[in-house]
Every structure is written in C-alpha cells, then in structure tokens.
Structure 1
Amino acid sequence: MTLTTPALLFPAISLLLLAYTNRFLVLAQLIRELNQRNNSGLEVVVKRQITNLRRRLHLIRSMQTAGVVSFLLCTLAMLSLFFNLAQLGSVMFGLSLLALVLSLLMSLYEVRISCRAIEIELESMQ
C-alpha cells in the first residue's frame, strides 16, 4: 500500500462530514420550528416528533464521531506509511474503513428515521 491509498479517502470523508453537518443544521431548524408551534390538537404529533428528533440527534452525533474517527485513522495511516511503517499503516487504514462503514450504516438508519418523521407530519395533515 502506498501513501496515496489512504489519501484517496480524504475528499470522501470531508464531503461526508459536510453532509452530516448539513443534516444537523436542518434538524436544529426543524426543532426550533416545532418549538414555535402553538396549534391546538397537535400536542400528540409534537410529542411523537420530539422522540423521533432525539433519536436522530443522537444518531447524527454518532455518525459525526465515527466520521471524524475515520478521518483521524486515515491520517494516522498516511503518517505511518510516511515513516515506512507499512503494517501499522495498513491496520490504521483498515480501521479507518471500518469506522467509515459504521458511519454510513448509522447514516442509513437516520434516513429511515427521518422518513418516519415525514410520515408523522403527513398523518397530522389528514
């Protein structure tokens, strides 16, 4: 493995972290809007959404953490390869890929929860 192999992940991980940050910002805005609702009869919907939003917040935090860990491990892999520690570099790169896969799986689950939140909103509109 050469130094450029882990370097290939840098743009992908950076874009992934940017996407996670955007998800977080949208979720924060949604929470603020939900907090401003004063419509009577929506209390049940709001309570259902709060549970959903909490779960999504925890997931996004975990996704971001796994993404940052992946980025750090990828950097350590490059550093190891730079210092001719090929085996350590390979292990770090493998761990980086594992953290990235974990982050992506959590992201997939968060998307499913997000879709459920939209279903709750649609139910309240009927």
Structure 2
Amino acid sequence: MDLTTPALLFPAISLLLLAYTNRFLVLAQLIRQLHSQRATMTEMVIRQISNLRLRLILIKAMQGLGVLSFLLCVLTMLLLFLKWMVPAEWIFAISICLLALSLLCSLLEIAISTKAIEIELEDLENLADEEKSL
C-alpha cells in the first residue's frame, strides 16, 4: 500500500460529510419549523417527534463515524510516510470499517426518513377522506 491508497478516500469522505451535513440542516430546519408551530400539536406532529429524535441521533453517528474515518485516513498517510506499513494497514482497515458503519447509519436514517414521509402521506389521505365525507 502506498500514500495514494488512503488518499483515494479523501474526496469520497469529504462529499459524504457534505451530504450528511445537508441532511442535518434540512432536519434542523424541519424541527425549527415544527417548533414555531407548537400551538398546532396535531397527532401527526406528535408521532413524528420520536422519529425526528432518532434521525438526529443517527445523523450525529453518521457524521462522527465519517470524521473518525477521515482522521484515520490521515493517520494512515502519516504512518505510510514514516514507513510503518503494518500499523498503517491496520489503521486503514479500521478507517474503512468506520466508513462502512457510517454508511449503514445513513441507510437506517434514510429508512426512518421514509417512514416520516409515510406519516405525512397518511395524514393527507385522512384529510382527503374527511373532505370526501363532507
């Protein structure tokens, strides 16, 4: 393994962290929006609160694991530069495992996000049924 191997992960991890940050910003905006409408605590909003909390936890885990993966890639490059091949290979393997865990958290967060959209659709269907019955 040479310096270019861990360096290949730099753009991928950077883009991944950017995507995670965008997901966090959208979620934070949604939570602030719900907070400003706190006088209208509908059943749908109440059902989504635990969903939003879990998504925040997952996004924090995604970002943390991604940053740790990035730091270990940097450490791998330093170890390779110092010609410490065996520790560099182990650290790089750990970095890849952390990246994989980050991606798994992202997949779970996407599944939960989809559940939130299903709650919204269910609410819209209930409104449509109410309008039909009137």
What CA distance in whole angstroms lies between the structure 1 residues aligned with 2:21 and 2:88? 29
State the partner residue of 1:106: 105
What CA distance in whole angstroms lies between the structure 2 residues aligned with 1:65 and 1:97? 14
State the partner residue of 1:5: 5
What CA distance in whole angstroms lies between the structure 1 residues aligned with 2:20 and 2:120? 23
What CA distance in whole angstroms lies between the structure 2 residues aligned with 1:96 and 1:63? 13
CA shift in 2, pair 1:89/1:11, >3 Å: same
Q: Looking at CA atoms only, which structure, 1 or 2, has the larger radius of gyration?
A: 2
2:57 is equivalent to residue 58 of structure 1 = yes
Q: Secondary structure at the match of 1:84?
A: coil
What CA distance in whole angstroms lies between the structure 1 residues aligned with 2:122 and 2:37? 17
What CA distance in whole angstroms lies between the structure 2 residues aligned with 1:73 and 1:38? 43
State the partner residue of 1:23: 23
For each residue in 1:7-33, what CA deviation from the matched residue of structure 2 results, as whole angstroms up to 9, or x when unmatched?
000000000000000000000011111
After TM superposition, the structure 1 = structure 2 runs for residues 58-97 of structure 1, keeping only pairs within 5 Å, are 58-97=57-96
What CA distance in whole angstroms lies between the structure 2 residues aligned with 1:48 and 1:66? 28
Q: Residue type matched to 1:11 in 2?
A: P
Q: Residue type matched to 2:31 in 1?
A: I
Q: TM-score when scaled to structure 1?
A: 0.95
CA shift, 1:57, in A, is 0.1
CA shift, 1:125, in A, is 1.3
Task: Give the ranges of 4+ consecutive aligned residues of structure 1 lying more than 2 Å apart after TM superposition.
Answer: 36-40
What CA distance in whole angstroms lies between the structure 2 residues aligned with 1:72 and 1:52? 30
CA shift, 1:38, in A, is 5.7
Q: TM-score when scaled to structure 2?
A: 0.89
What CA distance in whole angstroms lies between the structure 1 residues aligned with 2:36 and 2:83? 57
Residue segments in structure 1 that go unaligned for 5+ positions in a row: none
Aligned CA-pair RMSD? 1.2
What CA distance in whole angstroms lies between the structure 1 residues aligned with 2:8 and 2:64? 20
Number of residues of Structure 1 aligned to a counterpart in Structure 2: 125
Q: Secondary structure at the match of 2:87?
A: helix
What is the percentage of aligned positions where both structures have the same residue? 61
Residue segments in structure 2 that go unaligned for 5+ positions in a row: 126-134
